[in-house]
Amino acid sequence: MAQETPDSVSVYREVDQGQLSLDSRFAFRCHQGLACFNRCCRTPTIILSPYDIMRLRGFLNITSGEFLERYTRRQTEAISNLPLIFLDPFRADEPGCPFLGDAGCTVYSQRPAACRLFPITMGSQLTPEGVVDHYFCRELDYCQGFAGDVQWTVASWQADQGFGEYDRGRRAWLELMLKQALVGPVDGRVQELFATIAYDLDKFRQLIAEPAFHQACGADPEIMENLHTATSDADLLEFGYRYLNSVLFGS
């Protein structure tokens, strides 16, 4: 099968699509009995948030660096110049999500936020009131799931798929991306620092053990206290978000 580059996607609002609300209704039921089952996983375009990566690499019991090397590709976001991480479906001769098995998703319990939300997609924008989300329905022409007899609202679908936990885990990262897009592109040094802190927690853990990192922080007591309490991956990721906010916006 010929390998094609996936369509580019964005964390921003898709202005050319009909917008849904959390109360909008749709019919959808995906299951193994459908002839199209798993077809949408053959050429997926999935942006992975730092929280997605943390959950997946923990489930697979590998380092962040190993996960990134084996399963992903990196792409620079055009407006902010910050790095985005995508699942790479084109590592093998037969395209497909690297976690797609004969019976379906092999990491289903830890599947990323974008997979949980599908067939709904989401774009976001930064307003004076904060981040505002916009929802859309991606009706693939081959998908038979839309002929299902189960009715959902966008909100009930999110709840059923466990989207809320993954969405909360990626909120700070999403806001960083949106804020930087308003400011303008970063340079290569900041881009690499962002990639390390956001996506490679093991490398970040090594970085913060180096005296040079502490010197760069200016030995700020609050930063040092937060750093020493960041023992779990989730704590370290939260600290990383706060540190990146300081690096990017001085706050």
Q: What is the pLDDT of residue 6?
A: 38
CB within 8 Å of 227: residues ≥ 6 apart: 208, 217, 239
Dihedral over Cα of 182, 8, 199, 214: its sign: negative
Q: Domain map of the chain by residue range?
A: 25-180, 185-249
Cis link prior to 119 (omega < 30° from 0)? yes
Residues facing residue 126 across a β-bridge: 131
Over residues 192-201, mean pLDDT: 96
The more confident residue out of 7 and 109 is 109
Give the span between the Cα atoms of 117 and 96, in whole angstroms: 19
The more confident residue out of 229 and 73 is 73
Give the span between the Cα atoms of 139 and 146, in whole angstroms: 8
Q: What is the pLDDT of residue 4?
A: 40
pLDDT at 56 over 50: yes
pLDDT at 169 over 60: yes
Q: Which range among 54-68, 177-191, 204-218, 231-245 shows the weakest confidence by mean pLDDT?
A: 204-218
The more confident residue out of 99 and 94 is 99
pTM of the shown model: 0.88
DSSP strand pairing (47-48 vs 83-87): antiparallel
pLDDT at 92 over 90: no
Q: What is the pLDDT of residue 128?
A: 85
Helix (H) or strand (E) holding 87: strand 83-87
